[in-house]
Amino acid sequence: MQEKVSQVLKKLEANGFNAKYFASRSEAVAWMAQQVPAGEMVSFGGSVTLTELGLRAALEDAGADYMDYRPTDLDPEEAYERWRKVFKTHSYFLSANAVTEKGYIVNVDGRGNRVAASLYGPKKVYFVVGNNKLVADIDAAIQRIEDIAAPRNCQRLNLNTPCVKTNKCEHCGPNASICRAYTVIRYAPYGAKYHLVWIDEELGY
């Protein structure tokens, strides 16, 4: 384990997170699947990291009851109700746009449902990150979002934001931007069990 990662994990523990380190994605996925009893309802926040890990299939193979967080086949009102139901899941999995050296978790969201569910509702919340998410501080976290995460996500989603062409944030404003709700979690919020799963690989954006 890298010395810097080791220090960040200690900071996360001090901040109220159950911080777990895994040398490989296979070990991490196996551990997460073991944490979900058969029949337990789980859901995800939008995450390239979780897709790369194949986590949904692993959880379903373990017997989890997966609630799809992308209700593309529903009308807007039905989709809104689906997003609200995610707050009632037992376990919620997502990644982070950045983790600072002080153990703060930084995310940005367009609709707000992903970051909202990470703050309140589910009984267990799992942030799953790779080495590429580590940054020095909150300013560096925002810079990482603007230079890496946001442009790549806009490209992946086939959006027409300026950053798709320039590969950096152009501060396009409220009519186009997907960078709308920023959250910084300094300490694990009350009421749920918070986990930080660190995988010694580069994952997601």
pLDDT one digit per residue (tens) for the chain, 205 residues:
689 999 999 999 999 999 999 999 999 999 999 999 999 999 999 899 999 999 999 999 999 999 986 766 667 788 788 888 899 999 999 999 999 999 999 999 998 999 999 999 999 999 999 999 999 999 999 999 999 999 999 999 899 899 999 989 989 888 889 899 999 999 999 999 999 999 999 999 9
Q: What is the DSSP string of 144-200?
A: HIIIIIHHHHHHHTT---THHHHSS-----TTT-S--EEEEESSPPTTSEEEEEEES
CB count within 10 Å of CB 139 equals: 10
Q: What is the pTM of this model?
A: 0.94
* Residue 26: alpha-carbon gap to chain centroid: 18
Considering only the C-alpha atoms of the chain, give the largest distance between any 2 of them, rounded to a whole number of Å. Answer: 49
Answer whether 131's CB lies under 8 Å from 5's CB.
Answer: yes
Burial of residue 162, with CB atoms counted within 10 A of its CB: 0-12 exposed, 13-18 middle, 19 or more buried:
middle
Sorted by where each starts, the structural domains of the chain and their CATH numbers stand as: 3-136+182-199 (3.40.50.10420)
